[in-house]
Structure 1
Amino acid sequence: MKMEDIAKLAGVSKSAVSLAFSGKPGIGPETRERILKIAQENGYLPKSRATITDPSTKSLTFLVFANSGIVLEQYYQQPFFRELIHYIEEQCRSGGYSLIFTSVEMESFEQEIKAVAEEKRSDGVILLGTNLNQAQIAAIAGLLTSPLVVLDTCFETLPIHFVEINNVMGAYQAGSHLCGIGHQNIGYIASNVRIHNFEDRKRGFTAALRENGLEIAEDHVFSVAPTILSSQEALKGQLGAYLDAGHPLPTAFFCECDYIAISAIKTLVELGYRVPEDVSVIGFDNISESVIVSPELTTIHVEKERMARLAVDLLIQSIESDEDVKTKITVDTQFIERLSSRSPVKEAVNPA
């Protein structure tokens, strides 16, 4: 039996079968499971799986808990994660390792992790920690037998390797910029899904405003979905109610991620406001879409390439040495000023 035969039986393309066998993203977990089951039932052994058992083949696993928090099932298509994965793959290749993708569901947390540990498909694991809390990461580390590095979050009290963004610094940079160019009536658009990174960003932004004698008014805080690039009715409703109460629109908004910022720009435009003439908007992450949206987005640049390189290098070092001491690395951010922010001319008024 050939790969083409498996594709016909599963009702998918040959490329989908190849993705299933290699463990790479590009197909959903249900499709992957169906393909692998058909292959097993028909006695087909994928070459990619056979080579994994070859002692001379070195590989790392990129482990993701999908459909939880802001990490969607097709996380590899989300701009931030897409860029991060690209750099991880590059660094793996340069280090002589292949990269295996494993996406598991949070609903079967313990069972899935045990399966990953028992398979021993790779020499070490890079865990995407964006959407995971401290207890979950501790449980995963306790079940895995391979060296582990957690990427994109950090919990200081866990004896685990972490590589994270300096979220506090990035949001502080955004707040300092807005205060520095004269904004005093500042709004905050938060994610309605709370994760470690967003809490740190809120802390950093608040600290910058306090240093400048400002506070975020309670009614200036809005909450939206963090994974939608189009305008959002939820934000439109919140802003509409705020304006109907007779309040002037803040002259600037800080958004906890670029997704929210781009969505906010589109929502504000639909409400009749101009960005940045009437209201400035700042995001966080510097995803590729931030230079496509109009106006181009002022944002916080996250060093995704550096984070990927540090995570891979730290994991390889753990695999090839017997050191027990763990390392926690925080990567600083850079402020990127583009066209979505400017000094306030006057407080924006309701165009209606």
Structure 2
Amino acid sequence: MIMTMEEIAQMAGVSKSSVSLALSGKPGISEGTRHKIMDIVKKSGYMPRGLVKPDKPNGLNHTIRFIACVNSGIVLEQYATQPFFMELIRDIEEQCRARGYSLFFSSVPTDKFEQAMDTLEAEHESGGMILLGTNLTREQIRYVAQKQPNLVVLDTCFETLNVNFIVMNNVMGAYQAAKQLLAEGHQRIGYVQSHARMYNFDCRKKGFLQALEEAGLTVEETHYITVSPVVFGAQEEFKRSIAELKSPLPTALFCECDYIAISAIKSLAELGIRVPDDMSIIGFDNIQESMIITPELTTVHVEKATIAELAVSQLLSMIDGTGVIKTKSFIDTQLVLRNSSRALEVAAAR
């Protein structure tokens, strides 16, 4: 029999929108409410209309689960509204829809990771899983792989795990950014990094420093600035670090992500430092907001659509039994030149 969302909502004593959020795995309701709704669905033996799928001749489960581990300092509870993840999720949804698969979202709290993973598939079995590995450890990913063999992990990579990983080429992207600043004549370059560390940021630092080393340069110890990676506005921590620097200031800054770069531009404006006239800025990710900030942000473009397409293709090949060999895929980046960086001699002339 088929149960409507209205009937589920009435039984749970919640709104229809709460039921929709619970069934899709999206944030916006408490975990207690989510479990209450899913428990009603499970115990009643009913399935909402949206989950009833026509029989497939090949007998495959045409549901894919997308999981993010939240509340870690990088991936927030509202991760689906963070620009980078929002764009990536949209691309994954489009790929799934085009291939006749449904995509369900689940947010797993960091402090209850294993417990949540144990109950997810029991609530609603999926044919495969795309895991946002941004902030996950090797052990956590290994645990997930034991629960769901049809697994593709995005945004991180552990080379020794027998798991499919897809990640942007972080080393290449930051290397490209450094080479651009060097080509513009900058030699006194600062590095603005996240206080929360992860695979992507560590690889970006490696690529950036490699380019500087090839040019016989380093980043001065006082020119490393540490800030929050998820704040768009001006940051007092950044402003204080710049204000405490002895002259001469860096002529350029590389920021580990666009969030940090946009925050840096706003912070510098409050200090009376003009970008790019007094200081050039380059970010990483090429989120939509990078074209809204003034000046528009020079940044490293991540091929999110390519990552999404490859992730869904790999997962479906595992589901249908053709994808036996696990792979580690690095998607190359492109530097996008806009107005936040400028040749040093042009900046100095103003």
What letter is aligned with 2:250? P
Is 2:301 the partner of 1:263?
no
Which residue of the partner structure matches residue 104 of structure 1? 108
Give, in angstroms, the shift of residue 36 of structure 1: 1.1
The answer to whether structure 1 residue 85 and structure 2 residue 94 are counterparts is no
Letter in 2 for 1:163: I
Equivalent positions of 1:110-259 (< 5 A) are 110-119=114-123, 121-142=125-146, 144-242=147-245, 246-259=246-259
Residue number in structure 1 paired with 2:19: 17
What amino acid does structure 2 have at the position aligned with 1:182? G
**Whole-angstrom CA distance in 2 between matches of 1:45 and 1:231:** 50
Q: Structure 2: how far apart are the matches of 1:202 and 1:306?
A: 24
TM-score normalized by the length of structure 1? 0.90
| Distance of 1:31 and 1:112 partners within structure 2 | 12
Contact preservation (8 Å) 1:53, 1:121? no
Q: CA deviation at 1:247?
A: 2.5
Q: 1:248 Cα shift?
A: 1.8
1:328 counterpart = 2:332: no
Cα deviation for residue 35 of structure 1 reads 5.8
Q: CA RMSD in A?
A: 2.5
Post-superposition offset of 1:66? 1.0
Task: Trace 1:266-345 onto structure 2 (pairs within 5 A).
Answer: 266-321=266-321, 323-345=323-345
Contact 1:65 1:106 in 2 (8 A): yes
CA 1:112 to 1:93, structure 2 compared with 1: closer, same or farther past 3 Å?
same
Q: Give the 3-state SS of the residue equivalent to 1:278 in structure 2.
A: coil
Q: 2: distance between equivalents of 1:116 and 1:90?
A: 23
User: Are 1:248 and 1:347, in contact at CA under 8 Å, matched by a contact in 2?
Assistant: no
* Matching of residue 58 in structure 1 with residue 57 in structure 2: no
Asked if 1 retains the 8 angstrom alpha-carbon contact of 2:74 and 2:135, the reply is: yes
1:184 and 1:210 map into 2 onto residues whose CA distance is 11
Q: Indicate if the aligned counterparts of 2:194 and 2:226 stay in contact, CA closer than 8 A.
A: yes
Structure 2 residue matching 1:131: 3-state secondary structure: coil
Structure 1's unaligned 5+ residue stretches are none
For the residue of structure 1 that corresponds to 2:272, the secondary structure is coil
* TM-score, with structure 2 as normaliser: 0.90
Alpha carbons of 1:38 and 1:151: their partners in 2 closer, same or farther (altered >3 Å)?
A: closer
Q: Which residue in 1 is equivalent to 2:34?
A: 33
* Secondary structure of the structure 2 residue equivalent to 1:16: helix
**Which amino acid is the alignment partner of residue 15 of structure 1?**
S
**Contact 2:166 / 2:330 at 8 angstroms: preserved in 1?**
yes
Q: Which moved more, 1:37-46 or 1:221-230?
A: 37-46
Cα distance change on mapping 1:119 and 1:17 into 2, 3 Å: closer
Q: Unaligned 5+ residue runs, structure 2? A: none
Number of residues of Structure 1 aligned to a counterpart in Structure 2: 343
Once the two structures are TM-superposed, the CA of residue 315 in structure 1 deviates from its matched residue by 0.5
| Deviation (angstroms), 1:257 | 0.1
Kept after mapping to 1: 8 A contact 2:8/2:37: no
Q: C-alpha separation between the residues in 2 aligned to 1:11 and 1:190?
A: 46
Q: Once structures 1 and 2 are overlaid, which stretch shifts more, 268-277 or 99-108?
A: 99-108
The range that moved more, 110-119 or 183-192, is 110-119
Provide, for residues 135-193 of structure 1, a one-character-per-residue CA deviation record: whole Å limited to 9, x for no partner.
22122212x13410101111111110011100000000000000011001100000000
